[in-house]
Amino acid sequence: MIKVKSINSTAIYVLWLREMKRFVRAKSRVIGTLAMPLFFLAFLGLGFNNMSIPGMSKDIDYIRFLVPGIIGMTMLFTSMFAGISVLWDREFGFLKEIMVTPVNRVSIVLGRIAGGTTTALIQGLLILGISLLMGFKIIGISSLLLSIVFMLMIATTFIGLGLIFASKMKDIHGFSLIMNFVIFPLFFLSGALFPLGNLPFYIRYISYIDPLTYGVDGLRGTLIGVSSFSIIFNFIILVGFSLMMVLLGAYFFEKSESV
């Protein structure tokens, strides 16, 4: 049973700070993570910008439709692969060291989620900033703030999912392969690149169990004012997914072995 009163805020802060230092020092990691989203924006966004996309409103350019999806993609990839840090820490013995300290494992999970969420948010905002230079426009400051809320929930959801896989695996290379197998279906089923209405109805219903579907749709609703579902509906569903993934991530991490 998870006891909220046993959560150690100092441990959460220390682990968050550690993730921040690793993020700042690993400049190649930042560049590598941003490279693929930028390629999508450049080649798809600019290449298809003047084309008529079936199922998409004629009042919206494709690049405006695409940017929220690419931000969601950035959050997905960054968050899911945050779980690999657990495997690295297990490999080099750091995980064993923090496991033997008198700190609740839930605090360790929350610290990792806080660090991973912050780094994912930074990269999502970098993509949004670059897209503004490419002609993307947001509705206003309030929409930007709401989009940050959705980014945080997307990151929290998939960091939790990444921790579930990392807690059950020990091989770093195997983790990367499994993550690619999981990430790409989640990405393509989310409607990040095209309207969900273009999918066959049976695949469309599968996309409704994808958390990223509601994250991307929420980002579109907040940033460009167009979405398949209401912003409140997307928010409620995504909150449910994020809470579930955090609780499951904490549970599996508590049951995992440190070595």
Q: Report CA torsion sign: 35, 36, 37, 39.
A: positive
Position 149 confidence tier, pLDDT thresholds 50, 70, 90 = very high
Report the candidate in 112, 119, 113 with the shortest Cα–Cα distance to residue 95: 112
Between 161 and 109, the more confident residue is 161
pLDDT attached to residue 252: 81
Torsion angle defined by CA atoms of residues 255, 256, 257 and 259, in that order, rounded to the nearest 10 degrees: -160
Structural domain containing residue 247? 4-255
What is the domain count for the chain?
1
Between 215 and 200, the more confident residue is 215
Report, as an integer, the average pLDDT of 134-138.
Answer: 81
CB 51 within 8 A of CB 62: yes
Can you tell me the distance from the alpha carbon of 102 to that of 220, in angstroms, rounded to the nearest whole number? Answer: 44
**C-alpha 174: how far from chain center:** 20
pLDDT attached to residue 3: 44
User: Tens of pLDDT along 51-107?
Assistant: 666 666 667 778 888 889 999 998 888 887 777 777 776 666 666 666 666 667 777
The CA distances from residue 197 to 43, 69, 189, in Å, are 23, 15, 11
Report the candidate in 6, 28, 25, 7 with the shortest Cα–Cα distance to residue 17: 25
Contact residues for 64 (Cβ-Cβ < 8 A; gap 6+): 136, 137, 224
